[in-house]
A and B are shown apart, each in its own frame.
Chain A
């Protein structure tokens, strides 16, 4: 019976291919070795198998792969994340970038296990891709070229209907800038982002302005055991709500809650990673943001995907109560607010909107501004000039805009700066690795370049998530911690789960078993928690092998030299030896 159900399931799901060289599309059955994968595990497996590691990321041999998580499209909470995989234009490594919005659930309901976009068109024409139950159609596009993401979403809703799903690139992606991202429509017709790694440039190289998704009359999800699934989903939701981080902290203060926490611990990147604390931190804190949003009639709680019960997102209004932006995250607030010293939420929110519209990663771009400020391109703290540069230079592709749109690592080289916070050319997010050393090991060793979401050691370093604090200022235990959370992150990224499920998964005993029960009830399998750990390890090794074949070595698993300089207030230094870091891969 179980084998029969699984076979039926495999027959239903499909792999879609979009070949931009000859503008053809096809649908394939899911190969047996991909049947038990989803999300990041699937995109990384496909990229490792089909992409030549030494290829030029913007050339004919790179592929852009989208895959919903294994639990996406079901009624279970917080399972609507979409993975995008490729060889990254920014880092040259393998990449998986993960997003909320509506696309993952629509793909899953359409039975699309993955969509692989390959080849390059020969002419100058741009294209739109339309996905529905009847397959994929590629159409030449003229109207929306040169338009920002919000205009694209609005126009596509008029063209295809209000419910259409959208993946799109802004002008930065059209210009193949390394900071460019892929935007994904959310339930409010606003935008979430496949932010990291410059995947907008890859979509732009393939001349695809947008992918519209119509899930009308989609076959939907067939559960192998609906009753068992429903019960497991109930236990899972209860675990999410019962953990104080996901049940109370995130819904109340958003991810900006981290501003005061990280500042108190002395790890808040300030003035281009020169200090670990920011004098004006209260003005950009989660506590202040909550008060401001409520006072102005915005929404302090908001989900990035339907079915989210954490609601860490928010809608931020201006003084007159008009919408400015939504999904204003800690990393954007911190890196723009403290690291670039902009220091007030209104300027940061305005910048966030423009970054979404032109389609650049708000982490990479904010880190880039910190480096550009140190180089004297603009003064630290000049929020109005940040806004002007985003709109008039980066958005329009002026020479300065193209320089800043190429990311922190390149800007550091162009201006001769040594304090350049990148690993594998990707900007370091909003935790200084000298004071929070576990996340430093993640930055160094991640197959993605510097990425906090690849292994969020901060929760354990500062709050003791998962069984007790690993002292953030000491080296002991950090390599093991980072390995553990990197493996766990792959579980989350592959099942289609929000990263924050990691907290109850670490602390609430019923959480991981409920996830396994859901997988088994969804697919008619008999997986165990050990299988999940194995999936994480296998995927990490697959990604690492791709990077090695692309020319990366252990020497690239290092933090920039300037982190040897002491960081106030603790005079913390990054003092891991190469051998100590390399121990990460000993598993």
Chain B
């Protein structure tokens, strides 16, 4: 299935800003993050279609995953 992956801040270093990527059906959010070679501990915020989601959530075709390192403060 296809997912849109958006990366922000330092996660873009040596990766990308936004990409359409193919993943196995029923893959979990945590597995997608692992495939991007990002460790869970580095993740500050992860949104699926704009909402917070647990790492064991199964994803479905066409969803948008946005990944941020720990950032805060405005």
Contact = CB atoms under 8 A, between A and B. Distances in A.
A469 B47 CA distance: 12
A53 B69 CA distance: 45
B3 to A, nearest CB: 15
A287 B73 contact: no
Interface in A452-500: 452, 456, 458-459, 462-465, 469, 471-473, 499-500
B45 to A, nearest CB: 5
Interface stretch (A79-87, A137-145, A247-255, A375-383): A247-255
Contacts of A252: 9-10
A330 B73 CA distance: 9
Given A255-B74, A287-B8, A463-B45, A261 B69 contact: no
B74 A331 contact: yes
B66 A264 contact: yes
A257 interface: yes
Interface residues on A, range: 35 or more
B15 interface: no
A255 B66 contact: no
A569 B50 CA distance: 8
Contacts of A458: 72, 74
A244 interface: yes
Interface in A305-362: 312, 329-331, 334
Contact of A287 (B12, B45, B47, B52): B12
Given A469-B52, A570-B51, A462 B72 contact: yes
Contacts of A249: 9, 44, 69-73
A258 interface: yes
Given A469-B52, A473-B51, A503 B9 contact: no
A465 B73 CA distance: 11
Interface in A365-411: none
A423 to B, nearest CB: 18
B57 to A, nearest CB: 14
Given A244-B69, A260-B8, A287-B12, A265 B74 contact: no
A287 B45 CA distance: 16
B6 interface: yes
B70 to A, nearest CB: 4
B74 A465 contact: no
B50 A463 contact: no
Contacts of B10: 248, 252
A376 to B, nearest CB: 30
Contact of A570 (B9, B50, B69, B70): B50
Nearest to A506: B72
A559 interface: no
A463 B70 contact: yes
A464 to B, nearest CB: 8
Nearest to A435: B50
Contacts of B23: none
Interface in B40-62: 44-45, 47, 50-52
B71 A463 contact: yes
A407 to B, nearest CB: 21
A99 to B, nearest CB: 17
Interface string A258-293: 101110111000000000000000100011000000
A258 B73 contact: yes
A195 B70 CA distance: 28
B66 A463 contact: no
Nearest to A460: B72
25 contacts: A244-B69, A245-B71, A248-B69, A249-B44, A249-B69, A249-B70, A252-B10, A255-B74, A257-B71, A257-B73, A261-B8, A261-B71, A264-B66, A282-B17, A287-B9, A334-B74, A431-B74, A458-B74, A463-B68, A464-B44, A465-B72, A500-B73, A503-B72, A569-B50, A570-B50
Interface of B: 6, 8-10, 12, 17, 44-45, 47, 50-52, 66, 68-74
- Pairs A-B, 3 closest by C-beta atoms: A249-B71, A330-B74, A244-B70
Interface of A: 244-246, 248-250, 252-253, 255, 257-258, 260-262, 264-266, 282, 286-287, 312, 329-331, 334, 430-431, 452, 456, 458-459, 462-465, 469, 471-473, 499-500, 503, 569-570
